[in-house]
Amino acid sequence: MWGAIRELKIRGAPALGIAAAFGTYLGIKNSPAKTFAEFKQDLDQAIKYLGGSRPTAYNLFWAMERIKGKAEELKSQAVEKIKEALLEEAINIQEEDERLCESIGEKGAEIIQEGNTILTHCNAGGLATSGYGTALAVIFKAKEAGKKIKVYADETRPLLQGARLTAWELQQEGIEVILICDNMAGEVMREGKIDQVIVGADRIAMNGDTANKIGTYSLAVLAKHHQIPFYIAAPSSTFDPNIEDGHAIPIEERAPQEITCWGGRTIAPKKIKVYNPAFDVTPHDLITGIITEVDIIYPPFQKSIHQVIDR
Amino acid sequence: MWGAIRELKIRGAPALGIAAAFGTYLGIKNSPAKTFAEFKQDLDQAIKYLGGSRPTAYNLFWAMERIKGKAEELKSQAVEKIKEALLEEAINIQEEDERLCESIGEKGAEIIQEGNTILTHCNAGGLATSGYGTALAVIFKAKEAGKKIKVYADETRPLLQGARLTAWELQQEGIEVILICDNMAGEVMREGKIDQVIVGADRIAMNGDTANKIGTYSLAVLAKHHQIPFYIAAPSSTFDPNIEDGHAIPIEERAPQEITCWGGRTIAPKKIKVYNPAFDVTPHDLITGIITEVDIIYPPFQKSIHQVIDR
């Protein structure tokens, strides 16, 4: 599971949460521990190990904390009972995510009007979650409601999640989708083609600053320049109560080969230096609203985020 | 020559001008015309044909107009004499470009201070001209003047001129260069790493609106948001006296396969729609200055451009 997460065989913040929950269970499934203290050691080790796979997505840590909390709750029970309960909790997380995605889609669909064109970045669809997705759930639900809509999908370099995943998901659902390179988003906005930008999130600080796939921040600046609403769609498990603002969100830097190689071929000079941050942080003042399973929340986020997580 | 230009074997606005001049000569070299009237027909046909290769770069049309002007000037002479003179004129255009690039570099180098970091997009270097380049000439000259500088190069999707050409040219000159994906430019600016953006141009309208490689407009918006100076570097032959503002600049749309295929492999779903504009237009109010061979000119461009082209 560590490898699958590290190498992006599983990616997308909600899917990472689910994978981390099951991964934690796999980590302790064969634990020979007899006492809770021994079991707890193995559990902590599994969590620490899995947490090293990818640092930015908060859902990953959120899910493992929840598994850990469940174990603590059952500490007086037999270790085998606890193991069973942790598997059940992982399944709960997955099933909840399916319902969450559907709720995010339903809440968010109201921002989309008949005939609207939406721009999205990376993949926040079914392939990033257990079900509908987050940003794409909003689009799917708008379509289900009978609205005729169109989507521009950024290809999303370096790993092309937009071209490979988002374009495919939208095509499968019969939604008109137009693929562009990331550097064309500004031009498409200038041409007046975009009504909303909707993207997912990997971690949201308590002031609304949002970490998401690299390029999201540029889109938010471009959207502001063109006075286009910019929405984040994410389950409430994406809010990190320990992080006040975006500066404290750890940003993963990935291997240079993601940029310099393509299908085994090298496309840049040998020994070239590369900067490859996997995420960026969009400051809250560039965000129009955050679509959660509870409601769409608006600034001031410092207040409205609490209305969602303190329920 | 038409094929070489169309398929980007020759690219970069100044290099296209040179290629068009030689291409025009090749087009009439074997003309059997005996009279100037007959010769003029062949010349016009060659120019019309070559002009269909790529619509956006003004230097292409500028160079062919100059060749045509030379022919008109010598209309009373024998056709074979005119042919010789047109070859000479093409060589002149090439040699002038070498001097122009050097002048652009010298004029522009003053905007770069010791320790500065420059962001550039696409390739406006020696591989886009006959000599030093335009935007890269400025960087090369700053380095020759002993300034320690650093460059971030956008890879420039879809055709990766930044990764393949700019990164290589800078590396060859011993200049520290860091390759990024286009969607990372905003993050790099936010991190405070960029002192100036310098890019080339394919056509500049009389109010300063500038057509350049797709993605340039997004960079200009991002630079404005981060209060980073944004410069165009281009020879005066890039100004199009027939075009008042950017709306009238024709923008070439290229084949979807440039985005959906890579080294023979398909990277997007079959039958996906694609939007692939090769250029965008950066409005003059996002441009700090235009570095020409005559001088760096500043707003109001409607006035300052005339100081360059009316010399």
Nearest to A167 among B163, B176, B272 (CB): B272
- pLDDT over 90 at A153, yes or no: yes
In angstroms, rounded to a whole number, what is the distance separating the alpha carbons of residues A190 and A195?
A: 11
How high is the pLDDT of residue B92? Answer: 97
* CB-CB contact of A274 with A256 (8 Å): yes
Which residues on chain B are in Cβ contact (under 8 Å) with A224?
Answer: 225
**What's the average model confidence in pLDDT over A274-294?**
98
Q: How far is B257 from chain A (nearest CA, A)?
A: 11
- pLDDT over 90 at A287, yes or no: yes
- pLDDT over 90 at A57, yes or no: no
Tell which of B120, B127, B183 to mutate to test the A interface (max A CBs under 10 Å).
Answer: B183
pLDDT-based confidence at residue A311 (cuts at 50, 70, 90): confident
Question: Searching chain A, which residue's CA lies closest to the CA of residue B270?
Answer: A168
**What's the average model confidence in pLDDT over A6-23?**
94
* Continuous H helices in chain B: 2-6, 13-29, 36-51, 58-73, 79-108, 135-144, 161, 167-172, 185-190, 216-225, 257-260, 301-309
| CB atoms A262 and B260 under 8 Å | no
How high is the pLDDT of residue B271? Answer: 95
In angstroms, rounded to a whole number, what is the distance separating the alpha carbons of residues B285 and B308?
A: 19
Nearest to B221 among A214, A221, A275 (CB): A221
Helices and strands in chain A, H and E counts: 12, 13
Residue segments in chain B with a per-residue pLDDT below the cut of 50: none
**What's the average model confidence in pLDDT over A250-275?**
93
Contacts for A239 with CB less than 8 Å, ≥ 6 apart: A58, A204, A206, A305, A308, A309
Residue type at A56? T
How high is the pLDDT of residue B88? Answer: 98
Q: How far is A179 from chain B (nearest CA, A)?
A: 5
Which residues on chain B are in Cβ contact (under 8 Å) with A178?
Answer: 273-275
How high is the pLDDT of residue A55? Answer: 86
How many Cβ contacts (< 8 angstroms) between chains A and B?
Answer: 165
Which residues on chain B are in Cβ contact (under 8 Å) with A154?
Answer: 183
How high is the pLDDT of residue A51? Answer: 95
How high is the pLDDT of residue B160? Answer: 96
Distances (CA, A) of A88 to A175, A192, B3, B144: 36, 49, 64, 67
* CB-CB contact of B292 with B104 (8 Å): yes
In angstroms, rounded to a whole number, what is the distance separating the alpha carbons of residues B239 and B206?
A: 7
The structure's pTM equals 0.94
| CB atoms B215 and A186 under 8 Å | yes
How high is the pLDDT of residue A122? Answer: 97
How high is the pLDDT of residue B55? Answer: 86
For this structure, is B245 an active site residue?
A: no
The token pair at A252 is 């993963």
Per annotation, catalytic residue among B202, B209, B240, B280: B202
- pLDDT over 90 at A184, yes or no: yes
Distances (CA, A) of B51 to A93, B3, B45: 61, 12, 10
